[in-house]
Amino acid sequence: MDIRGYLRRINYNGVVYRDLATLKELQYNHVLAIPFETLDIHNGVPILLQINFLYQKVIHDHRGGYCYELNILFHNLLTLCGFNVTLVAGRLHHGNGKFGREFEHMALIVELHGRKWLVDVGYGDFSLTPLAVTPGEIQSDGRNFYQIIDPVMLDGHPYLGVAKWNASKQDFKIDYVFTLTPRVREDFYAMNEYHQTSPESHFRRSLICTLPLKEGRISMINNKLIRTENGKRQIRIIQGDDHRDEILEKYFHMDMVYLL
């Protein structure tokens, strides 16, 4: 993998030190440059969790991806840069106290100077910076407040939960649960296949592309373009495939040549 090409893709121009400040900047740049998107699932294009395949798609072809793709790539980048980083598995919160399957989500744990940090560039609307795995501590990425909850008991097993402050509910709401058990890529192959092929998969039912902005977020969900900026929300209806491609190029900086 070409580290310099990856760093150019995420607009990172500094020296890569093995410290928290660099890790924060790498994650922040990554999520602002590379969208969470499910276009390949929507178009029936197989997603292979292989480094060369993912690098070609996301870095060279200027695409995005979903959790497995983006976090596998970022894991590889951090490892090559000397960080102590592991893959971990999570279960997404689907509302009403219901959680998804094991290995439904992938995140990263980076250990620095004896502290563990939750790093995730593949969730969508999530923290822009690493979160300390310190249960109960309220943390901010400059936009939202987060908290690690321990334990969250599911099916008789303890998990760590990562929760975001919900202003309307005046409470922290769990996004997903995870454990600190180290995983390998192969552990996620079955759920990667499930997300692409199962009629029950949320990603099969919905076309998603989302990217944070300096002061908000822009998302394409099915036939709607939703832009939230400075507290104002605008919704536009997408008028067909050509209009969708124009939006992907203009707002998500994708080169549509590679989607033809």
Q: Which domains does the chain have, with CATH numbers?
A: 3-206 (3.30.2140.20), 207-260 (no CATH)
If pLDDT is split at 50, 70 and 90, which confidence band does 26 have?
Answer: very high
Residue type, 139: Q
- If you average pLDDT over residues 223-237, what whole number do you get? 94
Average pLDDT, the chain: 95
CA atoms within 13 A on the CB side of 206: 14
pLDDT tens across 68-118, in order? 999 999 999 999 999 999 999 999 999 888 999 999 999 999 999 999 999
Of the candidates 215, 138, 127, 117, which has an alpha carbon nearest to the alpha carbon of residue 175?
127
The separation between CA 97 and the C-alpha centre of its own chain, rounded to angstroms, equals 22
In this structure, what are the phi and psi dihedrals at residue 197, rounded to the nearest 5 degrees? -120, -25
Strands (E), the chain: 36-37, 84-95, 98-99, 105-112, 115-119, 131-132, 138-140, 145-154, 157-166, 171-178, 208-213, 216-221, 224-229, 232-237
Separation of alpha carbons 22 and 12, rounded Å: 10
Closest-CA residue to 180 (of 123, 135, 121): 135
Mean pLDDT calculated for residue range 29-58: 96
Q: What is the pTM of this model?
A: 0.96
Positive or negative, the CA dihedral 73, 76, 81, 83 is: positive
Contact, 94 vs 100, CB < 8 A? yes
Report the pLDDT value the prediction gives residue 259, as an integer from 0 to 100.
61
Nearest CA among 125, 54, 128, 117 for reference residue 84? 117
Place of tokens 């599911």: 154
Give the pLDDT of residue 255: 76
- Identify the pLDDT of residue 59: 97
Maximum Cα interatomic distance, the chain, rounded to a whole number of Å: 52
Q: What is the mean pLDDT of residues 130-159?
A: 97
The Cα 12–Cα 164 span in angstroms is: 27
- pLDDT exceeds cutoff 60 at 25: yes
Question: What's the average model confidence in pLDDT over 6-15?
Answer: 97
CA–CA separation, 76 and 3 (whole Å)? 10
Residue 256, pLDDT above cutoff 80: no
